């Protein structure tokens, strides 16, 4: 990502963003609300189109045409704060829809693959329920499995635990930790600093559309690169 | 058929009832054509309206805006009387009424459907795009099935508006329930005075519309319960 800027009309949401990640790297993005974290990761799979600068994902230049977008989305999974499961489809149908439609798998192959990943997030026994009959934590794990079914090379998470009851946060974080341990490249917006410390190779701190800080977690917590980051950490820790 | 009515109800009542029922059929046919023809155009308009293309959106918006701002009666006049004069062509009342009602229906129905589509959480689009689905795939497999519950009741409800709308077509000489009824009401035949004929017609419109209205209300109640 190079000198990326994003404007919403006259609002400068991303201001000269530069960063690169390596294969298998886990990056945690944090920062106060409204600082542009979501915008940043949504630009990576083209849910928002950046205004200027260049974004390359896995060697593909992200342009405004449908072709490069689809090529990139093929390899990036995304998990949302609000899960965004498809409420009219069962858990297993949520997982098989995209593989059947975009990869051309047969229903049997897709089902087999879906069961594998549902098992991976430990929720295979709920496969035939509708999302609304699951708890928040279970729904989010289904959302993770749904993304994994396309076997992406990078996973994006946008505050995956912010909408969850405290008692189900850990099951989702555990799932993400195990993904991380399997070597998945991850970019994760979260305020779960314990989780960040555990899995992150780097922590990026954002404020007002800019990257203020970008360093490994130990250093980030010991020696935040800015007053804003220091304030932010203490706020979260005392929270 | 006609003879049977005359035999049972006598003259002129048998003839009146028969002719009214006969004309009522036309009312139903015209309504159905308006519904399906208008529905087909509405489908296209809705698609254009929710697409990502600004020009398509604008075209659809302009069309809807125009046909929603013009009263149906005006559309009927334009199609039935204006067009023939302007282009010097023969337009039968059937054709004129059909065109006017189809235009009217398409504009309103696409507004209903757009509303239904926009009631579906935006997150569904985003999740679809993130899973690399295309616009049409998302629309077909995710949005429309969910929009159905928002759109069904108002669509059925709007059919009632169409049926009532057809009654205006008498003004350009369309031989529907309204025209036949009015003709009888104005005739000097005893037993066909306005105070008999008009209530009779009202009952007929009621018989066609009420079940639909009831059904729409039932659907609405059900969809509220489900949300
Ligand atoms: N679609 C949009 N239109 C206009 N402004 C937006 C839009 N999306 C986000 N913004 C603005 O951009 C800023 C950054 O938003 P976001 O990336 O969601 O922040 P964060 O995820 O860090 O809380 C916010 O001030 C928000 O109001
Ligand atoms: Mg956000």
pLDDT averaged over every residue in chain B: 86
CA quadruple B196, B201, B207, B213: dihedral sign: negative
Q: How confident is the model at residue B181 (pLDDT cuts 50, 70, 90)?
A: confident
B123 at interface of A, judged by CB pairs closer than 8 A: yes
**Complex ipTM, two decimals?**
0.91
Q: How confident is the model at residue A139 (pLDDT cuts 50, 70, 90)?
A: very high
Among A31-40, A108-117, A193-202, B201-210, the least confident range: B201-210
For the cut 80, the answer to whether the pLDDT of residue B65 exceeds it is yes
Beta-carbon separation of B123 and A47 below 8 A: no
Give residue B186's pLDDT.
81
- Between B193 and A158, the higher pLDDT residue: A158
| Coil, helix or strand at residue A88 | coil
**How near does any CA of chain A get to the CA of B136, in Å?**
11
The answer for A 126-165 residues in CB contact with B (under 8 A) is: 143, 146-147, 150
Fold of B2-226: MetI-like fold (1.10.3720)
- What domains can you pick out in chain A, each with its CATH number? 2-86+153-238 (3.40.50.300)
Could you tell me how many CB contacts below 8 A there are between chain A and chain B?
A: 54
B134 at interface of A, judged by CB pairs closer than 8 A: yes
Ligand nearest to the CA of A206: 1
Residues B33-72 as b/e (b if ≥16 CB within 10 A, e otherwise) read bbbebbbebbeebbbbbbeeeeebeeebeebbeebeebeb
Q: How confident is the model at residue A6 (pLDDT cuts 50, 70, 90)?
A: low
DSSP string, B168-201: GGGGGT--SHHHHHHHHHHS--TT--HHHHHHHH
Among A112-116, A192-196, A222-226, B9-13, the range with the most confident prediction by mean pLDDT is A112-116
Main-chain phi, psi angles of A45, to 5 degrees: -115, 15
User: pLDDT tens, A169-194?
Assistant: 999 999 999 999 998 999 999 988 88
Beta-carbon separation of A84 and B145 below 8 A: no
CB-ligand 1 contact for A8 (6 Å cutoff) = yes
Q: How confident is the model at residue A8 (pLDDT cuts 50, 70, 90)?
A: low
Give residue A213's pLDDT.
84
Question: Mean pLDDT, to the nearest integer, of A191-198?
Answer: 87
For the cut 80, the answer to whether the pLDDT of residue B127 exceeds it is yes
| CA pair distance A120, A182, nearest whole angstrom | 11
Q: How confident is the model at residue B213 (pLDDT cuts 50, 70, 90)?
A: confident
**What are the residue boundaries of the structural domains of chain B, listed by start?**
2-226
Distance A24 CA to ligand 1 centre (A): 28
Question: Mean pLDDT, to the nearest integer, of A21-37?
Answer: 89
Q: Which structure tokens are listed for B227? A: 């949300």
**How near does any CA of chain B get to the CA of A229, in Å?**
30
Chain centroid, CA B153 distance in Å: 14
Chain A residue closest in CA terms to B147: A88
Q: How confident is the model at residue B104 (pLDDT cuts 50, 70, 90)?
A: very high
Strands A185-189, A154-158: pairing is parallel
The answer for A 41-70 residues in CB contact with B (under 8 A) is: 45-47, 66, 70
B145 at interface of A, judged by CB pairs closer than 8 A: yes
User: pLDDT tens, A33-82?
Assistant: 888 899 999 988 889 888 888 888 888 888 888 788 888 899 999 999 99
CB-ligand 1 contact for A10 (6 Å cutoff) = no
Nearest neighbour of A88 by CB, restricted to B126, B133, B145: B145
């Amino acid at each position: 990502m190079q000198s990326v800027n994003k404007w919403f009309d006259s609002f400068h949401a991303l201001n000269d963003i530069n960063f690169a990640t390596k294969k298998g790297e886990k990056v945690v993005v944090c920062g106060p609300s409204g600082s542009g974290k979501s915008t940043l990761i949504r630009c990576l799979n083209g849910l928002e189109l950046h205004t200027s600068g260049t974004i390359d994902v896995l060697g593909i230049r992200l342009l405004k045409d449908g072709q490069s977008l689809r090529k990139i989305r093929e390899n990036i999974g995304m998990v949302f704060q609000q899960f965004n499961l498809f409420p009219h489809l069962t858990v297993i149908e949520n997982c098989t829809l995209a593989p059947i439609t975009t990869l051309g798998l047969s229903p049997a192959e897709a089902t087999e693959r879906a069961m594998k990943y549902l098992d991976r997030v430990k929720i295979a026994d709920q496969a035939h329920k509708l999302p609304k009959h699951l708890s928040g934590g279970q729904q989010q794990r289904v959302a993770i499995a749904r993304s994994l079914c396309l076997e992406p090379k990078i996973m994006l998470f946008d505050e995956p635990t912010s909408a969850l009851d405290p008692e189900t946060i850990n099951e989702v974080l555990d799932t993400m930790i195990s993904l991380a341990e399997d070597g998945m490249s991850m970019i994760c917006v979260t305020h779960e600093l314990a989780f960040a410390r555990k899995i992150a190779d780097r922590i990026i701190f954002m404020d007002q559309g800019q990257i203020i800080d970008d360093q490994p977690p130990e250093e980030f917590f010991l020696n935040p690169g800015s007053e804003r980051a220091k304030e932010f950490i203490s706020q979260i820790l005392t929270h | 058929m006609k003879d049977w009515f005359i035999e049972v109800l006598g003259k002129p009542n048998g003839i009146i009832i028969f002719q009214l029922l006969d004309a009522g059929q036309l009312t139903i046919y015209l309504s159905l054509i308006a519904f399906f023809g208008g529905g087909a155009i509405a489908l296209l308009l809705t698609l254009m309206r929710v697409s990502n293309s600004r020009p398509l959106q604008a075209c659809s918006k302009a069309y809807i805006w125009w046909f929603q701002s013009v009263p149906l009666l005006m559309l009927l006049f334009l199609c039935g009387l204006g067009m023939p004069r302007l282009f010097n062509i023969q337009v039968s009342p059937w054709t004129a009424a059909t065109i006017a009602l189809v235009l009217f229906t398409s504009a309103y129905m696409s507004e209903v459907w757009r509303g239904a589509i926009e009631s579906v959480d935006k997150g569904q689009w985003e999740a679809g795009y993130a899973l690399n689905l295309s616009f049409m795939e998302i629309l077909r497999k995710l949005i429309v099935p969910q929009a159905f519950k928002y759109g069904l009741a108002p669509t059925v409800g709007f059919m009632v508006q169409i049926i009532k709308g057809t009654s205006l077509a008498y003004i350009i000489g369309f031989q529907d329930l309204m025209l036949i009824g009015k003709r009888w009401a104005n005739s000097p035949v005893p037993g066909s005075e306005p105070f008999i004929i008009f209530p009779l017609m009202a009952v007929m419109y009621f018989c066609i519309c009420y079940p639909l209205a009831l059904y729409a209300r039932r659907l609405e109640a059900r969809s509220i319960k489900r949300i």
